[in-house]
A and B are shown apart, each in its own frame.
Chain A
């Protein structure tokens, strides 16, 4: 057991406990922010120091310490940092439970970091639950009726998804007799196709795994919770849910399907086609349902469902192409990075505007371009990136994913995705139109606190960098896409 490789996670756990204790004994709540941020920074520093080298798996092959895990850990820590930046002004709304808020954010980040690293079905379940339990509490933090309702919905649906996931895991364990992903792969590859096909247990288990993970990433038949929870939750937590939860979920899907079910090619074709269909209905339903929305948080909720659809195009490409082809995986990683920056930027801008307006309705955004030009500009950049237009990061992200799909002979899927991108331009540009061309109700300027501005600048710089010089990031993503199988 090599605890030195577990330091990033341990640091985060220690700092979460520290935040809880500090909150009890100090009146200066500013200190909590500093402690949480320093925990994130130390953890990210240790992770960064480990980057590039190859390490053995720890805890009896339950946790991988490969570049894939390290990359996602850095991404999630970065997102958590932005979320905390965005929360500082927002947490004034619930002055009583600040310590719990930051501690829960740290703990759910810990859970997501574990999700990106686990290589064992049992450890996957524990990491998922650690993440979900913290998020259930965070969603209900506002304590008004909408927030409580969304928290309860999230809890109930999440519990059902967990049960389905566990049942799928049990079937796969029953079929292979192993819980470790690499061992599962070895057992499956040793069997003849006839043996596997004569028992439907493995296919059923795969479908149930996809169901359980699909809930986390908001893929379409399992997306019922998304609009309500996104609308009801505190806005920084909505951003956190839409970005970090999705990134960690995709990290998990990528690792499980790549290392356990990647190799007999006919098997990967089977789950590839499932992902292709999920992608089609996800993109279409998400984009069409987003059009009539009047609440911007709800609209971005449907948009995140559609984005999950685009990401699933990458999963389908991974299933349809031979495992050696790295473009499918690296394009998903690139898309997740650019999506994380873009969506964080959009939500921080929404927090900055809604804090003053005290409303999330798109109609109330009329004329914001004159009242808060810089924030409106940032929001415009992020929405343009979500459509997938140059020079923003979203363009390159979609370009890579679509080219991976074309290379795997999935041209029909790419055509549907492109049509969807065009549809999506309508509702994103409607917000831009309202902001810049509408006539404002009042001429009063909206000023935003420095922490929000810092977060906004960081994410917008990221969006532009990834969009203008994507080559370097793509190299990183390809480096990160080398998943080790134990």
Chain B
């Protein structure tokens, strides 16, 4: 029992040593003047897709996104259930088909609800 924890301890030590090593390598190379040191503004900026950043990250999102996220979530869950069903389509047979149809019906009712409550209209 305790021996198993010993393995975890070994891994922990290895991880810490590896991290320290990876951090010290560039510092050591810089110290030995192997790496050249000529900074410029683009180099010093926070790396983001190679593009210059525009504005700040504190952007206000439209409130409507919240409804879309909710609908997206429902459909996402539907997809999660559709995948395993589609993979073993033949073994599950007709009862699997009926079950998945019930699930789709339930999600579809939610979709109609959102549509009638004018959630899908962008104002």
Interface residues of B in 86-123 (CB under 8 A from A): 95, 105-106, 109, 112-113, 116-117
Whether the Cβ atoms of B109 and A20 lie closer than 8 Å is yes
Complexed CA–CA distance, A21 and B109 (Å):
7
Interface status of A17 (Cβ within 8 A of chain B):
yes
Complexed CA–CA distance, A21 and B116 (Å):
9
Separation in Å of the A265 CB from the closest CB of chain B?
31
Whether the Cβ atoms of A24 and B95 lie closer than 8 Å is no
Whether the Cβ atoms of A20 and B95 lie closer than 8 Å is no
Complexed CA–CA distance, A17 and B106 (Å):
8
Cβ contacts B21-56/A at 8 Å (1 or 0 each)? 000000000000000000000000000000000000
Chain A hits for B106, CB < 8 A: 17
Separation in Å of the B116 CB from the closest CB of chain A?
4
Interface status of A324 (Cβ within 8 A of chain B):
no
Chain A hits for B116, CB < 8 A: 24-25
Complexed CA–CA distance, A379 and B10 (Å):
70
Complexed CA–CA distance, A123 and B109 (Å):
24
Complexed CA–CA distance, A17 and B105 (Å):
9
Whether the Cβ atoms of A17 and B109 lie closer than 8 Å is yes
Separation in Å of the A1 CB from the closest CB of chain B?
7
Separation in Å of the B77 CB from the closest CB of chain A?
14
Chain B hits for A21, CB < 8 A: 109, 112-113
User: 14 A-B residue contacts at CB 8 Å?
Assistant: A1-B95, A17-B105, A17-B106, A17-B109, A20-B109, A20-B113, A21-B109, A21-B112, A21-B113, A24-B112, A24-B113, A24-B116, A24-B117, A25-B116
Chain B hits for A17, CB < 8 A: 105-106, 109
Chain A hits for B105, CB < 8 A: 17
Chain B hits for A20, CB < 8 A: 109, 113
Residues of A within 8 A of B (CB): 1, 17, 20-21, 24-25
Complexed CA–CA distance, A1 and B112 (Å):
31
Shortest Cβ distance from B105 into A: residue: A17
Shortest Cβ distance from B98 into A: residue: A3
Separation in Å of the B12 CB from the closest CB of chain A?
24
Cβ contacts B63-84/A at 8 Å (1 or 0 each)? 0000000000000000000000
Separation in Å of the B69 CB from the closest CB of chain A?
18
Complexed CA–CA distance, A61 and B119 (Å):
41
Shortest Cβ distance from B117 into A: residue: A24
Separation in Å of the B54 CB from the closest CB of chain A?
38
Apart from A20-B109, A24-B113, what 7 extra A-B contacts exist at CB < 8 Å?
Answer: A1-B95, A17-B105, A17-B106, A17-B109, A21-B109, A21-B112, A24-B117
Separation in Å of the B78 CB from the closest CB of chain A?
15
Separation in Å of the A42 CB from the closest CB of chain B?
18
Separation in Å of the B44 CB from the closest CB of chain A?
44
Shortest Cβ distance from B109 into A: residue: A17
Shortest Cβ distance from B115 into A: residue: A24
Complexed CA–CA distance, A25 and B109 (Å):
13
Chain B hits for A1, CB < 8 A: 95
Chain A hits for B113, CB < 8 A: 20-21, 24
Which 10 pairs between the two chains have the least Cβ-Cβ distance? Answer: A24-B116, A17-B109, A20-B113, A20-B109, A21-B109, A24-B113, A21-B112, A17-B106, A24-B112, A1-B95
Separation in Å of the B11 CB from the closest CB of chain A?
23
Separation in Å of the A302 CB from the closest CB of chain B?
37
Complexed CA–CA distance, A80 and B113 (Å):
24
Shortest Cβ distance from A17 into B: residue: B109
Complexed CA–CA distance, A133 and B106 (Å):
17
Chain A hits for B109, CB < 8 A: 17, 20-21
Separation in Å of the B23 CB from the closest CB of chain A?
37
Separation in Å of the A351 CB from the closest CB of chain B?
29
Shortest Cβ distance from B116 into A: residue: A24
Separation in Å of the A399 CB from the closest CB of chain B?
46
Separation in Å of the B87 CB from the closest CB of chain A?
20
Which of A1, A17, A25 has the most chain B CB within a 10 Å cutoff?
A17
Complexed CA–CA distance, A281 and B30 (Å):
69
Shortest Cβ distance from A99 into B: residue: B113
Separation in Å of the B81 CB from the closest CB of chain A?
14
Which of B95, B106, B113 has the most chain A CB within a 10 Å cutoff?
B113
Complexed CA–CA distance, A24 and B118 (Å):
11
Shortest Cβ distance from A1 into B: residue: B95
Separation in Å of the B106 CB from the closest CB of chain A?
7
Separation in Å of the A303 CB from the closest CB of chain B?
38
